[in-house]
Amino acid sequence: MTEEERLAKNNRIREQGRKTREKRKSQICRVYRVKIDFSHLNEEQRVHLKMLFVEAKWMYNDAITFMNDHDINDYDTKIITVHGLDKDHQPVTHDLQYISSQMRQSVIQGIKYNLKSLSSKKKNHSKVGSLHYKSDYDSINLQEYHVTYRFYDETHIGIQGFDKRIKIKGANQFWNIPGLEFANAKLLNLPDGYYLAVTTYRNKGGEMKKHKPEIGIDMGIKTTITTSDGRKIKVLIEESERIKKCQRLIARRKKGSNNRYKAVKLLRKAYHRLGSRKRDIANKIVHELLEHERVYMQDENLRGWHKGLFGRTVQHSILGLVKAKLMKCERVTVLPSSAPTTKYCPNCGKFKKDIKLSDRIYNCDCGYSEDRDIHAARNMILLGKQNTCGTQGIFNDAFGEDVRRYESQDLCCSLVELGSPRFYKRG
């Protein structure tokens, strides 16, 4: 290929990428996860699937060593032999036989993304370290559909380097969606099996779903989530006996032994199952809440709760998952943590500053009385509506001089505006 042909090819790729990025702006992105049916793999496919992650780990560690004296951009992804250390820390060489060319490029590209992220944090005066060696590699990026992977039908996929089709489960969740476009995917090695996380895009539009009336939610310790319509949800998923048993088993095993490694794998599988239970409950709660036209919530300091007296309760709840999922939605209004959702009386407009955490019923001198959590959830709707029911006056009375800092901004703005550090910074 001549130099002119190479430049022309690069220009075509650059132009196609620009068109794709422009098209993605008007599309909805969603990631679906399907599971590889390990029981239907032959012995050759099982070894191939396992060695993909082993060789990705070898290549990653070799690239980290290469970075000690060279630039990562000079690393040759076409090499067939990498260097490393065995379990006794003795030098050893490995031949790369299973991992494909694009998979190798994705490993090195992942290192470059990590370095870029560390550099960005360092510029923001954050304390950063360096990239470390990996003992396990659990995610391989399959960059291009129809090249590194493809769907043959609802139950079979093809992966670059595999001669035969691979049976999967779970594609029925997206297979019949019209106009769905497949982008990149990630091959995952999780404690309970191998998965394929597929990134998809589809055009916005279609029939508008009729939503329920707006709702406010209050997060707490005694009751996980309380809604403005009086519903209370209590979720507490503690560590199972199996996790405790695995931890005791690891403590009795010698470090570096094969039996200890097996016990660690059992513990990872138990923790993965615990996390799956939490994610399942959180997804169901978020789905039910987003059936409402608009959701009002407060930016609770969950990290502070976890460090305090209620750390165990927060750890075993699903508050963090629910909050993170809700804050990604455009129909969710997030109030600052200092908003007076509990102290403000919606009946007379006064503030009850002497309310304690042990006071579970909000009583005002005007005769207003309500459950503390339901009262706070309803106030979130009131405070979340800008220029309605005297909202701006409420914030003036609550924040005093601090409200002047926010006069040029919408206090009840979307997540994009609320997420900026300058919104919360004071003084």
pLDDT at 207: 54
H helices of 147-237, in order, are: none
pLDDT at residue 411 is higher than 80: no
Q: Which pair of tokens denotes residue 53?
A: 């992650």
Average pLDDT of the chain is 84
**Is 427 a residue whose pLDDT tops 80?**
no
Q: What tens digit of pLDDT does each residue of 360-387 get?
A: 888 887 888 888 888 888 888 888 875 3
Q: Is the pLDDT of residue 417 over 80?
A: no
Decide if 41 contacts 49 (C-beta within 8 A). Answer: yes
Is pLDDT of 247 > 90? Answer: yes
| Mean pLDDT score, 36-64 | 94
pLDDT at 184: 92
Lowest mean pLDDT among 264-268, 274-278, 349-353, 413-417: 413-417
Higher pLDDT, 43 or 205: 43
The stretch 64-85 carries a mean pLDDT of: 91
Pairwise CA distance, residues 269 & 318, whole Å? 19
Kindly state the DSSP code that residue 185 receives in the 8-state scheme: E
Q: For residue range 111-161, what is the model confidence (pLDDT) as tens digits?
A: 999 999 999 999 988 888 889 999 889 999 999 899 999 999 999 999 999
pLDDT of residue 341: 83
Distance in angstroms (rounded) separating the CA atoms of residues 237 and 5: 60
The percent of residues above 90 in pLDDT, for the chain, comes to 45
Would you state the pLDDT for residue 419? 32
Pick the residue with more confidence: 176 or 346? Answer: 176
Q: Given this model, what pLDDT does residue 34 score?
A: 95
Cα–Cα distances in Å, from 338 out to 369, 373, 388, 408, 418? Answer: 22, 16, 19, 18, 13
285 has pLDDT over 80: yes
The owner of tokens 């191939």 is 48
Using an 8 Å Cβ cutoff, are 115 and 108 in contact?
no
Which pLDDT score is estimated for 96? 93
Q: Whole-angstrom Cα distance, residue 197 to residue 33?
A: 4
Average pLDDT over residues 264-273: 92
C-alpha 343/C-alpha 382 separation (Å) is 13
Indicate if the pLDDT at residue 390 is higher than 50: no
The domain ranges of the chain are 27-203, 215-326, 332-424
Continuous segment of H or E residues that includes residue 370: strand 369-371
What is the CA angle 348-350-355, rounded to 5? 120
| Distance from chain centroid for Cα 177 | 24
Confidence bin at 408 (pLDDT 50/70/90): very low
Choice among 187-201, 280-294, 358-372 with the minimum mean pLDDT: 358-372
Phi, psi of 27 (to 5 degrees): -120, 160
191 closest CA partner among 128, 267, 99, 300: 267
Res 246: pLDDT: 93
pTM of the shown model = 0.75
Looking at residue 32, its amino acid is Y
DSSP code, position 344: B
Per residue in 78-116, pLDDT (tens digit) is: 999 999 888 778 899 999 999 999 999 999 999 999 999
CB 58 within 8 A of CB 107: no
What's residue 345's pLDDT? 83
What pLDDT does residue 412 have? 35
- Quote the DSSP letter at residue 388: S
Phi and psi torsions of 220, nearest 5°: -155, -175
At 351 the pLDDT is: 79
Q: What is the pLDDT of residues 249-261, one digit of tens each?
A: 999 999 888 899 8
pLDDT digits (tens, 9 = 90+) for 291-320: 998 899 988 888 888 887 888 888 888 899
In the chain, the largest separation of any two C-alpha atoms, in whole Å, equals: 85
Distant-in-sequence, close-in-space partners of 384: CB < 8 Å, separation ≥ 6? 216, 294, 296, 333, 335, 391, 412
Report DSSP state, residue 224: S
Direct distance between the N- and C-terminal alpha carbons of the chain, in angstroms, rounded to an integer: 60
Coil, helix or strand for 23?
helix
Burial class (CB in 10 A: 0-12, 13-18, 19+), 62: buried
